Structure 1
Amino acid sequence: MVVGDVTTGTDVLIIGAGPAGYVAAIRAGQLDLDVTLVEKEAYGGACLNHGCIPSKALITATDVAHKARHAEEMGIHADPAIDLSGMVGWKDDVVSQLTGGVEKLCKANGVNLLEGTATFVDDHTVRVSHSGDGQGSETLEFEHAIVATGSRPISIPDFSFDDPPILNSRQALALESVPDSMAIVGGGYIGMELATVFAKLGTDVTVVEMLESILPGYDDDLKRPVKKRASDLGVDFHFGYTASEWYEPDGGVRLVAQPADDAAADGGTEGAEAVESERLELDVEKILVAVGREPVSDTLDLEAVGVETDERGFIETDSRARTNVDHVFAAGDVAGEPMLAHKGSMEGQVAAEVIAGEPAAIDSQAIPAVVFTDPEIATVGMTETEAEEAGFEPVVGQFPFRASGRALTTGDSDGFVTIVADESEGYVLGASIVGPEASELIAELGLAIELGATLEDVASTVHAHPTLSESVMEAAENALGHAIHTLNR
């Protein structure tokens, strides 16, 4: 037992061992800095333990089962049984392997690891209250700090995650039996990914969304194939509703939702779904609340160090990940939108390099975003509209997967690749993909933006045949006006 406070010192204190924090720690260790990484739960953060990795594991597993059931056209007839507890066990094994890997990498790079909860005492001191088998606390003095505490699911009034029928995304990913029915409050990327998972498991899924369509912020032509595929899976949608209450009549669970006036008032845009106007009641087994995530910044006593946050609780940073306090940095979800693990890792690496005196800065022009629905959506850079607003004269090329031999041989040919470029110089400005392996294909286009590549560069790069990646080349050719396997725009 630790009696009283023990005071130690470190060059770099990092709070939070998610994708931003552990990357910052490893990079700082590589740069010969004395690093202490504080984590209150498991290494890898929400992404590795409760978000990105476990959700993708279940997405993959349920997709395998779904494809097996629907492979009659290929001459395959099967009806695999679902053992959700076994599926979750496999998912947990994957997570455990990766979590252990993060811990080993940190130790191999000389990072001091502490389990506990950190709060600031003053501008160069934190107190770490130990968790796990340890007791008591210790005080750490630091030269520089990186706050990488991540985010958590947003709750809504009267829907407590402590009530068994009410789930957040973390709890939904840990279920060991398939619910017969589920209402998902929120049609953003988390809601739609989990709607896909549970629909493929056989759950009757209903999505209740406050706005007029799913996936706010994405173009209608990207959302349309996702909405259609989800509907084909049996997912029902109710747009223009906010969840207001729930109760348990006769042992069941009833969700009550009211019309959202703002959604109704915003109707009329292209691709908008019909917004309903009557009170909605749904009888379901589980209610999943997926209305977004919020930064974890309210537990740190940031006022003790003088770090400022915005009205939503995000820590404001500059292009070098520095806060308003020169020696305190922030990275990852807690540092603001977009809340993406890979964006957080980049910020964490930049913060470590800046502390070490390196000329590093955050380059946000080519950060991809992916939605792991069926089909997947992936975007990077500017849309056509954003390019116009930035003063470019954009040219757009597109190639449909239905014209791809490889896509047809997979049995999945919905969607397309779109490239946006500057017409005068040919530089690639952005891209969007909806379709098979969009998450993998987008990297080539992110690299094109990062390197300042042109449409000619992409089109003249020989792509292996038959592959899905040829669709990227074909989209560039289409923008140049000499597409081979589709009509030119």
Structure 2
Amino acid sequence: MNKSSDSTTENATNNVTRHVTVAVIGAGTAGQNAFRTASKTTKNVVIINDGFWTTTCATVGCMPSKLLVAAASRAHDAQHSDQFGIHADVRIDGKQVMARIQAERNFFTHNVKKQVDSWPNDKKISGRAHINKDGLIEVNDELIKADKIIVATGSSPFIPDNWTDKLGKTLLTTDNVFELSDLPTSMAVIGAGSVGLEIAQSMSRLGVAVTLFNRENRVGGLQDDDINKKAIECLGHGLTMELNSRVDDVGTCSDDKKSTAFVKYKDSDGQAQEWQGEYVLVATGRRNNIEQLGIENLDVELDDKNRPKDLDINTGQIGDLEVYIVGDANAHIPLLHVASDEGFSAGSSVCPNNTDADMRPPSIPLSIIFCEPQIANIGMTLPEVEDSGLHYVIGEVSFDTQGRSRVMGVNCGLLHIYSCKETDKILGASMVGPDAEYIAHIMAVAITNELTIKALLDTPIYHPTIVEGLRTALRDVQDKMAIPYQAQLTQEDGF
């Protein structure tokens, strides 16, 4: 790996137990895809993994959290159907809720593990890899020389300094919250990003006394102030939030029976406050697992946030080194579909005689938060559009009055579409609203294929659907561009 041939290196090389064409370190979504793709064209490949041989998504991320969201949605609908003339007494069995989450989670992880088990045993190594000063991979009792290395070591929940010691058993992260045998009585959630929002709202809907804290007056990382304001309004109907607050201290206080967690903070007015309850869920983001790997011994440079410099976002390659860092490990866009594409691309790039069949172009930015109403961001953010120098307009639609949304009783939301005046194409969009996941995918397809506003309006949109709101926003774009739409008039949204 571009190392000097001094005597120390020569001695180390003589002790090599295995020489491979490709070594993949990490067996999450990105690593598994990289291994499978590389294996198509070379048999001299090995994958090394420390911990479970499933994925973050299936084990502690996307899937168990969506199982929690699904349970919460059922409970909420059953409890809040009075407007339809439907009245019910609802009993929530916390143990059954958590048991189903764990059982279904195990179903997903079993399927992942089943595929891993089908791989040849001599290609899999369980253990913690470390890259030494000679660029060789040390793992267990092996010393491996790899012509090419794919790093896919994923990420872990970030916990502020000393919080683990201060909170003890009352500290939760996504690594252990889904292992609870019963729903807690109360919970503080620190962080209003995707994880914090989904878990906080779901737990609240399931009868847990939840307070959500965030240091900014912002939720879901929204960068469009109008969408953010609307999201806070919609989510605030059933969730206690302490936004624009500052956590000063956390800890526990004990009596004869149990420990109680506390959070000392200053509220949005700067007044000192204290929360007490059963658990504190820390949802302050994730950090890539790269610090202890020895990546610097491969001449890879990291910035002050542990992100690799000279990263090719198409392949994950670092400069002209035969080193590829993919998935959450590169801290580029920590989303499953991005990690999947990066794994395929890296696995293709390292293989000789590759036909580029599995090369994936960079994805259009797409994120969806599965709170209710859902939050979605697609393409360029509003600050990016503003900084681009492009002439743009913002088309919008409110879901407060949109036809199908009112029929369903989910009428709270707002969609903004950012469109370029010169090209008549969509630059990006931000939304909080019902069925945002479906509108987000339509928008992503439109941006990926560079469809014009007119081309998108020429496609059929069925009546009456929530997606009709998208058409209203697109028409608003055209009105603001002063470009008349000449197609035959269609029935207006919801009526």
Please report the TM-score for the alignment, with normalisation by the length of structure 2.
0.85
Match of 1:125 in 2: 136
1:35 aligns with 2:30: no
How many Å separate the matches in 2 of 1:246 and 1:11? 50
Q: Any residues of structure 2 matched to 1:249-264 within 5 Å, and which?
A: 249-250=254-255, 251-259=258-266
Structure 1 residue runs without a partner (length 5+): 130-136, 260-273
1:79 aligns with 2:89: yes
> Aligned residues, how many?
462
Q: Any residues of structure 2 matched to 1:11-410 within 5 Å, and which?
A: 11-32=21-42, 34-106=44-116, 112-121=123-132, 125-129=136-140, 137-160=141-164, 163-250=168-255, 251-259=258-266, 275-316=268-309, 317-319=311-313, 320-324=315-319, 326-356=321-351, 357=354, 363-364=361-362, 366-410=364-408
1:431 alignment partner, SS class: strand
1:282 alignment partner, SS class: strand
How many Å separate the matches in 2 of 1:32 and 1:466? 53
Task: Report deviation, 1:355.
Answer: 1.6
1:10 alignment partner, SS class: strand
How many Å separate the matches in 2 of 1:375 and 1:123? 52
Contact residue 26 and residue 106 of structure 1 kept, 8 A: no
1:476 alignment partner, SS class: helix
Match of 2:446 in 1: 448
| Distance change in 2, residues 1:248/1:15 (3 Å) | same
How many Å separate the matches in 1 of 2:263 and 2:83? 41
| Distance change in 2, residues 1:124/1:101 (3 Å) | farther
How many Å separate the matches in 1 of 2:469 and 2:202? 27
Contact residue 400 and residue 417 of structure 1 kept, 8 A: yes
How many Å separate the matches in 1 of 2:43 and 2:392? 46
Deviates more, 1:143-152 or 1:66-75: 66-75
How many Å separate the matches in 1 of 2:342 and 2:420? 28
| Distance change in 2, residues 1:473/1:90 (3 Å) | same
Task: Report deviation, 1:354.
Answer: 1.8
* 1:383-404 Cα deviation digits (max 9, x unpaired): 3442232121112222233444
* 1:44-87 Cα deviation digits (max 9, x unpaired): 33222111111111111111111111112223322332223322
Match of 2:3 in 1: none
- From the CA coordinates, give the structure whose radius of gyration is larger: 2
Q: What's the Cα RMSD here?
A: 2.8
1:472 alignment partner, SS class: helix
How many Å separate the matches in 1 of 2:243 and 2:475? 40
| Distance change in 2, residues 1:12/1:93 (3 Å) | farther
Aligned letter for 2:403?
Answer: G
| Distance change in 2, residues 1:309/1:77 (3 Å) | same
How many Å separate the matches in 2 of 1:473 and 1:434? 16
| Distance change in 2, residues 1:254/1:102 (3 Å) | closer
1:232 alignment partner, SS class: coil
1:173 alignment partner, SS class: helix
How many Å separate the matches in 1 of 2:436 and 2:363? 19
How many Å separate the matches in 2 of 1:50 and 1:384? 31
Contact residue 12 and residue 33 of structure 1 kept, 8 A: no
How many Å separate the matches in 1 of 2:469 and 2:46? 46
Contact residue 220 and residue 375 of structure 2 kept, 8 A: no
